[in-house]
Amino acid sequence: IIYRIRQILNEKGFMEVETPVLQNLHGGAAARPFKTHHNALDQDFYLRIAEELYLKRLLVGGFEKIYEIGKNFRNEGIDRTHNPEFTQMEIYVAYKDYHWMMNFTEEMLEFICLEVLGTTEIQIGNKKVSFKKPFKRISMIDSIKQHTGFDISNMSEGELRETCKTLSIDTDKSMGKGKLIDEIFGEKCESNYVQPTFITDYPFEMSPLCKKHRDNPELTERFELIINGKELANAYSEQIG
């Protein structure tokens, strides 16, 4: 699988790069880092939680199509889909948006399945998943409305909290609008997507660093790819400036 990932990226003109694992300032994701001490410098460092920040420096520096496959470390809980040490690939390309990235993602996954298994039909437990493009696309607001009956598009924080209560979703006072929406989607929607589906156009409160949607400033140009009820990819149009 990794060989075929590298093949399609290299053939399309991407450069594979390596960025530091030890960082004096962690970032690129919201996660708790592992902390270590550099004896020669007598300075504390963090194991990276994402490759993002250094890859963006390369992008700004003129490397327009880059990727990295590397280890990240997050000092948090463990379950069947989360491990403190894990391999992640990040891709960055200049002058493109999230529509381009969705198209490329489905092209890449279809290519990998055909090259590795000779088919786009994958058996996962008792479910058959098709990686034949194009994949379904639905906005997060429409997904929540479809699976809960609630239109959250103009809800205040208080109304979202009441909606969570009605849906028997546990919340606490620390959760703002973005987190409440995330809880609703995670609890009531995510598991329904067995076939590859792009969940698009996240509310701004969930993704304050993403580029605002060109047609609706309350939303962002972001997507997550859900397969077999779990997130496989996350991307967005980048902010400019």
Could you read off the pLDDT of 85-112 as tens digits, one per residue?
999 999 999 999 999 999 999 999 999 9
Q: pLDDT-based confidence at 240, cuts 50/70/90?
A: low
Query: How many Cα neighbours within 13 Å face the side chain of 149?
Result: 3
- 187 near 175, Cβ under 8 Å? no
Q: Where are the beta strands (DSSP E) in 125-164?
A: 127-130, 136-139
Residue whose token pair is 């490759």: 51
Angle among Cα 236, 195, 14 to the nearest 5 degrees reads 40
Cis peptide before 208 (omega within 30 of 0): no
Backbone angles phi, psi at 223, to 5 degrees: -140, 155
Average pLDDT of the segment spanning 144-149: 97
Q: Does residue 7 register a pLDDT over 90?
A: yes
pTM (whole model) above 0.75: yes
